[in-house]
Amino acid sequence: MSRLPIIAGNWKMNNTIKETKELLTALIPLVKDAKCEVAVCVPYTSIAAAGDLLRGTNIKLGAENIHWADKGAFTGEISADMLKELNVEYVIVGHSERRQYFGETDETVNKRAKAALSKGIKPIICVGELLNERESGKTDEVVIRQTNGAFVGIDAAELKNIVIAYEPVWAIGTGKTATSEDADKTIAVIRNAVKELYGKGAADAMRIQYGGSMNAKNVAELMAMPNIDGGLIGGASLKAEDFKNVVLYR
């Protein structure tokens, strides 16, 4: 089964509109011949400017979160329609920073993913264990629970529009990467959870990224693993040259 790899930047809370324009203007020509799918998930305030620059390029536009309600009294939140109007194609849901600092649960991750899908926006669903969960041997249990939780009520027909990102929380922004074998092994566990839910064909087709201190130095080794279908890149997506070196890993 060949799956088109997807490498996406997650800018997190970085880049003003001015910085967004500078970064993307530099990045666009550098990655135009990429052999994988490329996306940048940018802060809400940068989406419009990024969308203008990315139109007609091979870089897809993404957001970093989405609310589940259509509209209403949810101060500070952004709806699927608002993102759709800006031609957002991907949205990150359930990032560990949202789970840790903003009370995101498996249930809210599921609601956000469903809201995105209902408007034709593709969720990048993040799962991953904390350091203490890894150390106490709970990694598999955690990622299976998070995967099962995220997919509640999602129709099999939608699976082609979903990407999963496995991000071990202890590897994010720390310079520590999971070994490629460990990452591959846990991604295989996640793939098996998808198989239990939807069958082998669906599991084989599901794109599952690795994320956590992925950079130009380790990308080739990680991408060589059979289960790893791309990357969700934080720090190394913030400079055009760095991100190019990840995207053009082969």
Q: How far is the CB of 175 from ligand 13P (least distance, A)?
A: 8
CA 87 to chain centroid? 17
Cα separation, 6 vs 126, whole angstroms: 14
* C-beta of 13 vs 73, nearer to ligand 13P: 13
**Nearest-approach distance from CB 231 to ligand 13P, in angstroms:** 8
**Nearest distance from C-beta of residue 222 to ligand 13P, angstroms:** 12
Residue 5, Cβ neighbours under 10 Å: how many?
Answer: 20
> In terms of CB distance, is 43 or 211 closer to ligand 13P?
211
CA distance 185 to 87: 35
Provide the residue type at 112 as one letter. Answer: R
Q: Which residues bind ligand 13P (CB under 6 A)?
A: 10, 95, 167, 172-173, 211-214, 232-236
The single residue of 37, 95, 97, 104 carrying the catalytic annotation is 95
Distance in angstroms (rounded) separating the CA atoms of residues 34 and 198: 31
Q: Identify the residue whose tokens are 């991750």.
A: 109
DSSP string, 153-171: T--GGGGGG-EEEE--GGG
Residue placing its CB nearer to ligand 13P in the complex, 69 or 131: 131
Q: Is 67 a catalytic residue?
A: no
Q: Which of 97, 129, 133, 167 is catalytic?
A: 167
Active site annotation includes 167: yes
Q: How far is the CB of 95 from ligand 13P (least distance, A)?
A: 6
CB nearer to ligand 13P: give 99 or 111.
99
240: tokens are 């055009």
**Residues forming the active site:** 95, 167
